[in-house]
Chains A and B, each alone.
Chain A
């Protein structure tokens, strides 16, 4: 862009700086003596304009997302192109010269690498390599097929004379075919990300668009050199050379990427003392891989893709958590920004009458041929593939694959690179490419979503109306993935096993820090055995002592009770405050609104239930693992969930193991354990107030939803209604709670304490034990209960943690200053350690 900034400056001057023109005429630093303020526009001109464009693009993104309706229907890429057209129009109107176009240099050196690196670094490796064969077939054969057929057909039509007189030969058409054939990684992702198709389909199209670069580059350079040579002088040797060069370019590029990934991993292993520049290495070295392979005229995209793919595991293990976050965010920012700019500039570049050469037949036929031949290619290849693939690609998938073949900026940049002297019809090619890009990105991008919906591609399902369906549906998903695991047929296991062996024995040892090596993924493998060992030793200890008394000791049970009941007072308290308020303001209400409210409460309750389920049902593997998104960073919920479930499973297995061994009452035991687990987790829960779900939560919800200002006045009638419908149950609950609480000595002190301070929404802050209400703390607790190899017998340890927690409340009450501290400070993990330490001493 910067190269073309000269003329624009007048535009900017006209638009932004009314007086700039005058100043520029007398270059600064003239001999007028010392000036206090000088206006040195041309010093900053280039970077300034670049930054302005970036700013405009980013602001545009903000504006687009102000309206969900628009972005839901129109893909962002299409919006950006249109914006670019408008901006280009403005620039043109002001200047009459297309000052800004997307130059190949900028595109290939600055805009493309971050996007591709991002794709590589966040590539779902397992899925990618599982489908590598398919991806390669589509990328290589498919692209060659597309290029050849499109070029030849166009040439054929040209020979028939339909296109009129063009100064092109067969080779020109083949050259054009080769650059228009490749599916574009930027465009594909931009659209597919918004259409949630199933993962296999996604990875195939996405992978294809990344890997076909090698083919495009080779075809492009081969045909370009042929064109330069002139059609007559091309010999068979040249053709063979071309084929050889394909292997060299692609494998070479991959190799460069792998080598640099190795380097990168190795470097990050030793960055312990320079944490602050750690993230930099990731970018610098990957970028170097890109430049290196560009220098060697290998496939740069492949290089940086594979650099990202190969290094991700080791880098993530090596660098600190903060650095990893930095890398993630920076990468997303760069990629997303680059994508934005690319699309905007594609639009801007189109506003230049100089490049437009119209040839209806050529343009329309190109559009027709690329769609038709892609369809044919996909169908043929899929037919072959389906004979070998475990997971069949169904007709619907094929339709999406055909339709998802978007062309984009790569094609445009390549076509701009053509030499006008050699390729006479360059302008026609450029304008056709632009049309093709716009057509595919805007039209197909717009319609692919409805198409997918219409075809009902296996998508991640959104919402189910009934609780049963929702719950069982999710259960089915889990069942299915479990059966998949048992039948063990996802992909090429043999190779994967070999690789993971090699990785564990050699690569990880070299490339990962020692600490990382230990803590990494072997946990799962080793854990089971460890647990069994623990269990055995635990049981053995029990037998040694003669009984399992220490397991069932009354103290433990007591603690369980205390623990379980602690959060309950909130209910009691809440009910008390309800009652109080009811007395105050049960005066003014008309029946209609009451009726309405009752209904709304029902609805809200339903909503709450659905919402809770929606949010907290564990997600099946398919939904959480493999999805790549350029614009979003999903926190690693998956890991957390895995830990949670794993933890539970292990505990249960341990329990059943013990009970099998000793004939204990398993159910009772499990239930107890379970209660404790829940109760403790609830403390950390992120659910508002941690109150009773049915009544209080619904109330809360209703209030929040409707934003009543006068809570008290509105609240009372509500409660009355609730009283009539679910009142008995509710009261029963309350009394039960009170009863179960009193032995623990909680209620007595609690109610008076909290009532005055917390009229309505207060309870959570004050009532909650010093452990603040927040979601992350689940993990500290969790991790503390995930003993490492050397840790204590697990259940014993778990017990201790539990009992530790159970003392929280009483202690807190005994120490008012602590409580105050807790309620004053914003809840954050920071206050965990001291508290945890405090409690640690108590039970021991």
Chain B
């Protein structure tokens, strides 16, 4: 991979991005390659359509939600640094002592909390910091096969919310969300080994 380092100059602000995301030089190059491959007309940014072209996403129940997460705040385009920033959430967590880290520095994008937050935001469409029953239901609809009836879905959504809901407001806050998943190895489950 090092062979391509001559291209490093192509990436704007490569060092800044690397510092922020923690990607290795090689990964960054690879991602840049990918970015340009996705960017159909060499626009320098990606639009929703560019990502929608990826065939596999069309058969991913959460595909469109994930595409949306690349375009926060109603943006219609995402540049390379934005693109990489999202992907950085999925970098594997390095084994390092949390005490060693500079507390002043912001938490790295691939921390457990940030991974969870990313997932949480996929649920929380209205950005009120809570997954309402309705939002849960919407996700369920995406993820469950057509054989399941609406009523069943509603009941499942109810139960899921109830199970996680601790303060009884009928919605799942981020705190409750993390709590309900505290046993899960999120670090591993939400990491892609190839993104280093």
Contact = CB atoms under 8 A, between A and B. Distances in A.
Task: Tell whether A and B belong to one assembly.
Answer: yes
Contact of A468 (B63, B64, B151, B181): B181
Contact of A486 (B51, B156, B159, B194): B51
A525 B56 CA distance: 10
B163 interface: yes
Contact of A487 (B118, B139, B140, B192): B192
Interface string A606-640: 00010011011110010000000000000000000
Interface residues of A, number: 68
Contact of B149 (A478, A617, A690): A690
Given A528-B52, A645-B60, A678-B146, 6 more contacts: A474-B143, A479-B118, A480-B192, A489-B34, A617-B144, A687-B149
Overall SS of chain A's interface? helix
A708 interface: no
Interface in B126-177: 139-156, 159-160, 163-164, 177
25 contacts: A467-B160, A467-B163, A475-B119, A478-B143, A479-B62, A479-B118, A482-B56, A482-B63, A482-B66, A484-B194, A485-B57, A486-B38, A486-B87, A487-B192, A488-B34, A489-B195, A524-B59, A609-B155, A609-B156, A617-B143, A644-B145, A678-B149, A681-B146, A681-B147, A685-B146
B11 interface: no
Contacts of B52: 528, 653
B45 interface: no
Interface stretch (A256-264, A512-520, A692-700, A819-827): A692-700
A624 B192 CA distance: 19
Contacts of B186: 476
B17 interface: no
Contact of B151 (A473, A649, A692): A692
A685 B51 CA distance: 33
Interface in A645-695: 645-646, 648-650, 652-653, 674-675, 677-679, 681-682, 684-687, 690, 692-694
A482 B149 contact: no
In the complex, the 4 A-B pairs of residues with the closest C-beta atoms, listed nearest first: A693-B152, A681-B146, A616-B145, A468-B180
B190 interface: yes
Given A476-B119, A482-B62, A485-B54, A693 B164 contact: no
B146 A693 contact: no
A609 B160 CA distance: 10
B108 interface: no
Contacts of A444: none
Nearest to A674: B141
Contacts of B24: none
Interface of A: 390-392, 466-469, 471-490, 524-525, 527-528, 567, 609, 612-613, 615-618, 621, 641-642, 644-646, 648-650, 652-653, 674-675, 677-679, 681-682, 684-687, 690, 692-694, 697, 775, 778
Interface residues of B, number: 60
Contact of B147 (A679, A697, A778): A778
A778 B148 CA distance: 12
Contacts of A612: 144, 148, 152, 156
Contacts of A479: 62, 66, 118-119, 122, 190
A694 B155 contact: yes
B63 A475 contact: no
A480 B190 contact: yes
Interface of B: 30-31, 34, 37-38, 51-64, 66, 70, 87, 90, 118-119, 122, 139-156, 159-160, 163-164, 177, 180-181, 183-184, 186, 189-190, 192-195
A461 B19 CA distance: 35
Contacts of B147: 616, 681-682, 684-687, 775, 778
Given A473-B184, A482-B63, A693 B143 contact: no
Contacts of B152: 612, 687, 693, 697
Given A390-B194, A483-B87, A687 B159 contact: no
Contacts of A682: 147, 149-150
Most buried by B among A482, A685, A693: A482
B156 A478 contact: no
Contacts of A644: 145-146
Nearest to B195: A487
Contact of A613 (B30, B139, B144): B144
Contacts of A487: 31, 34, 87, 90, 192, 194-195
B31 to A, nearest CB: 6
A301 B59 CA distance: 36
Most buried by B among A478, A525, A567, A615: A478
B57 A617 contact: no
A534 to B, nearest CB: 15
A687 B58 CA distance: 27
Contacts of B57: 482, 485-486, 649
Nearest to B118: A479
A476 B118 CA distance: 10
Contacts of A471: 139-140, 143, 160
Nearest to A778: B146
B64 A649 contact: yes
Given A469-B183, A641-B145, A681-B146, A524 B55 contact: yes
A628 B137 CA distance: 34
Most buried by A among B63, B64, B141, B193: B63
Contacts of B59: 524, 641-642, 645-646, 649
A618 B155 CA distance: 18
A648 B163 CA distance: 28
Given A468-B160, A618-B61, A646-B59, A685 B190 contact: no
Nearest to B144: A616
B67 to A, nearest CB: 8
Given A471-B140, A613-B144, A649 B58 contact: yes
Contacts of A481: 56, 60
Given A476-B119, A486-B54, A567 B149 contact: yes
A729 B70 CA distance: 40
Contacts of A615: 145
Contacts of B119: 472, 475-476, 479
B66 A621 contact: no
Contact of A475 (B58, B139, B153, B159): B139
A34 B56 CA distance: 75
Contacts of A609: 155-156, 159
A469 B182 CA distance: 9
A692 B38 CA distance: 45
A392 B54 CA distance: 25
A478 B34 contact: no
A472 B140 CA distance: 10
Given A473-B189, A486-B51, A644-B146, A466 B63 contact: no
